[in-house]
Chains A and B, each alone.
Chain A
């Protein structure tokens, strides 16, 4: 055997491994991008730059919503050295069990990247923790921006700003877990304007996750776009005063500037101090609000589904006048056989009927509108008549969200033929079946914002601007949609009688809303009392003032408080007085309201 040939075997083996190495290099470096991606994941990091969120000012430029810093306690598991868990948990005030769960989750997520261990630590608490934090390498505080509500008012309007939930993230790819988002009110409507746009910086980090330099010379970096400040239409003082008046009551107050549709105040009672839903106590407080039997989270001012009661009679008057079914001089006998009435009157004209809130009068008015005699069948006739009527009601904003910028408005219910068809069957109902809607009872449901808007319509004699809370986005002014008046289709001349009647309701001795009188201001108003037999009635009042140059239109709804003139009217009058005079002439009137308590039937 020639041993010399073994040289080739050995050479062959060595070459073989050389080829294996080169093949392996090829598979690692060229054939796949996996390892390149892995290296990128290790060395490149996207640092998000959060722009500061826009601030919110009231109509007079008073700061309502500011930003403040809060801290998330972060941990980078790889950098964490062994430490005394109990002492640490004691420091950060966290259960050992919760902490371990949180820390293990962080470890599972990434050893190199930081995770949140404890969210939203208030600055005072964090200052105490920060002093000790050097003993615990791998842990650090990350600043987050949360809201600070300077006046603690307007929770329902302002909405809140909190961590985006899984659904928000699913809906919009802009949001990442841990990002914050506007959750209700104008924080939600104007989320994009307020938040701006987050920027990103791409950096290279070292093995300890310290940023070393910008990646690719910063070519991929994007700058953050600052959020825009909002000026809103609320008047802070009026809002605060309205909230004060509504303390210990259930219901709502909405005040609108008729000339513009700007919402001056919007109160839903009970409310809460929006600062409660910021920071470490948010979860606890939110649960408490959610569990509250008085349902503070339910925004009565825009979601309350109330029967309007007598205030609806003015709407009936106006469309009947426009249709020519009645004139201001039309008198109708107060026939209490079909429908009950109250007070001493028997044969009112329109003004009288509104003042006395005569039920049979408006039963008759609506009958004239619904039963037009176009069809022989009274069923078919009622169907046509009701649908025509419904269209006109819609033009007053009832059954719509009014195109407002307040989110989650419930539209209420203006029943048409299909609604009754569902209840009674097609052509199985006539006006005699449904007449209770003629006086704002029955199936008719509206919300307090729509009531205030009705007041604004009458103040404007025929039109309204979609009620809104935005006054200016940054310096860009308000969106177009709020600058266009919406006509109700009722001519200005027909408002004369209604307005006069409303003034008399307040001003004449024996008017139902005497308590709404203000010395030196011509207030026009209309009470409503929504029956809850046998429980106490809901008290309703809408008003505007001054009569000839209306500056403010309001609706007040106080649940379970009884007759509309007794509670709702004085609240409205106090608001009007506060707004127009900036002071209250009769402190006893105010005190009476502050002392009142209606927290249920």
Chain B
């Protein structure tokens, strides 16, 4: 690499994103320190403690960032397929020889440190997706191409589902935003929101019992299905009465398909919850709707909400939150790290952190949009979507508006794989963005 090129990269590097990254990592580390705080062992550089280990990981990640920022963008493009396939192999291997942690086989154990291939699968899948769409170019409109794109996402997602790690699978689902940006019909978003609403109604009605004349007490899901059919029929007659005859046939098809889809989906959700989910997972979903039968099922989330809620406007002060200090919130240094911010820094602090995340994500979208290469743009949107999904699920969970799904908060949660994965994800984007003027692909 020539010296002038290196200067050009440095000049074009998006220092805003880099600044947001370091800010989040640093704030995250202070939160980990607080969550592990022990007045008798206050040493910051205690590498046996989690906050000490995280410091090591931060050092490693800084090194990785430097390497990535000095790597030709071309390398990532060429590396896409290989890395994608390699990680797929790792995902298969981890199912066979992985270490079982918390019921999921998702870790390769290396001494006291572990590696989680699914953390890297996000990056490689984003790269692969970008490569694939850039390859196909305008042909993305074809159904077969779209199915192939769905497979690019679906294969690693499926392997991760086998671990099982539902949270990460949901993150992969977020890549739909990138596809949407590249021309996938906007209906996908409508269908997505419709599905969420249908799922909620199906869960709520499925959990209630209704006395049916002649059939005795049965699940309330049948009421819901019945209502859906009535709604379908009403729309059907609406179409017949208010649309021109030549559009009717097409509209009939849409109504019939939607109704069938909605019925099948609702039934599937109900069946999935009752028959497929393990009891503790079912309980977590019920907790979200306040329908749990076991009063202890919402223990985590109740404590998490108490920790955050007790922060008030300005919080109890750093290292001064009793919920955090006396370990009331389980997994507080990893999945529930946001509680530390909530309790110690209050509404202002929490709002600031949420704002930082949104700012970072929107900045990444901004970067993606200013790319001239489709590869970089798709990759940028993938990065933004992945970060967004993590934020959505993790913070949604600790705030009690999403079910309890174990998934780290990017840059914040303790854990080397996670920090490294997100660093690589973001740094590749920064490098691609840095050379946006010098390449045209």
Contacts and interface: CB of A to CB of B under 8 A. Distances in A.
A35 B357 CA distance: 25
B355 A18 contact: yes
Given A21-B395, A28-B399, A35-B309, A207 B326 contact: yes
A38 interface: yes
Interface string B304-342: 011111111100000000110111100000000000001
A103 to B, nearest CB: 16
A14 B361 contact: yes
B306 A29 contact: no
A32 B180 CA distance: 39
A43 B350 contact: no
B173 to A, nearest CB: 14
Nearest to A18: B358
A14 B355 CA distance: 11
A10 B177 contact: yes
Contacts of B350: 25, 29
Interface string B378-409: 00010010001001100110011100000000
Nearest to B305: A35
- Interface majority SS on A: helix, strand, loop or mixed? helix
B351 interface: yes
Interface string B356-390: 01100110010001000000000001001000100
B316 to A, nearest CB: 9
A179 interface: no
A36 B310 contact: yes
Contact of B310 (A4, A14, A20, A40): A40
B309 A10 contact: no
Nearest to A32: B309
A205 B322 CA distance: 8
A14 B312 contact: no
A424 interface: no
A423 interface: no
A43 B365 contact: no
Residue among A14, A22, A38, A212 with max Cβ neighbours from chain B (10 Å): A14
Contact of A22 (B302, B326, B351, B361): B351
A28 B308 contact: yes
B240 interface: no
A362 to B, nearest CB: 77
B296 interface: yes
A35 B308 contact: yes
A18 B181 contact: no
Given A18-B354, A22-B354, A35-B305, A42 B347 contact: no
Interface residues of A, number: 37
Given A3-B182, A42-B323, A21 B354 contact: yes
Contacts of B346: 29
A3 B183 contact: yes
A14 B388 contact: yes
Contact of A42 (B189, B308, B328, B357): B328
Contacts of B312: 29-30, 36
Contacts of A18: 354-355, 357-358
A111 B312 CA distance: 27
Q: How large is the interface on B (under 10, 10 to 19, 20 to 34, 35 or more residues)?
A: 35 or more
A204 to B, nearest CB: 5
A588 interface: no
Given A25-B399, A29-B313, A43-B322, A7 B369 contact: yes
Contacts of B296: 111
A21 B393 CA distance: 11
A11 B362 contact: yes
A34 interface: yes
A29 to B, nearest CB: 4
B248 interface: no
A39 B181 contact: no
A25 B323 contact: no
Interface in A1-58: 3-4, 6-7, 9-11, 13-15, 17-18, 20-22, 24-26, 28-30, 32, 34-36, 38-40, 42-44
Contacts of B181: 3, 6-7, 10
A213 to B, nearest CB: 9
A14 B328 CA distance: 31
Given A10-B177, A15-B358, A30-B313, A39 B323 contact: yes
B10 interface: no
B99 interface: no
A29 B401 contact: no
Contacts of A28: 305, 308-309, 342, 399-400
B193 to A, nearest CB: 10
A36 B314 CA distance: 13
Contact of A35 (B306, B326, B395): B306
Interface in B31-79: none
A3 B180 CA distance: 9
A206 interface: yes
B326 A21 contact: no
Contacts of A21: 354, 395-396, 399
Interface in A188-210: 204-207
Residue among B312, B326, B355, B362 with max Cβ neighbours from chain A (10 Å): B326
Nearest to A44: B322
B303 interface: yes
A34 B309 contact: yes
A35 B310 contact: yes
A206 B343 CA distance: 15
Contacts of A36: 309-310, 312
B34 to A, nearest CB: 15
Can you list the 9 inter-chain pairs with the closest CB atoms, starting with the nearest? A35-B309, A206-B326, A39-B310, A43-B322, A18-B358, A39-B306, A38-B306, A28-B309, A29-B347
Interface of A: 3-4, 6-7, 9-11, 13-15, 17-18, 20-22, 24-26, 28-30, 32, 34-36, 38-40, 42-44, 111, 204-207, 212
26 contacts: A3-B182, A6-B181, A9-B189, A10-B381, A10-B384, A14-B361, A17-B388, A17-B392, A18-B355, A18-B358, A22-B355, A25-B354, A28-B305, A28-B399, A29-B308, A29-B311, A34-B309, A38-B302, A38-B306, A38-B310, A39-B310, A39-B323, A42-B303, A42-B328, A43-B326, A204-B326
Given A7-B369, A29-B350, A38-B302, 10 more contacts: A4-B369, A6-B186, A15-B358, A17-B392, A20-B401, A29-B309, A29-B312, A30-B313, A35-B308, A38-B305
Interface of B: 177, 180-183, 186, 189, 296, 302-303, 305-313, 322-323, 325-328, 342-343, 346-347, 350-351, 354-355, 357-358, 361-362, 365, 369, 381, 384, 388, 391-392, 395-396, 399-401
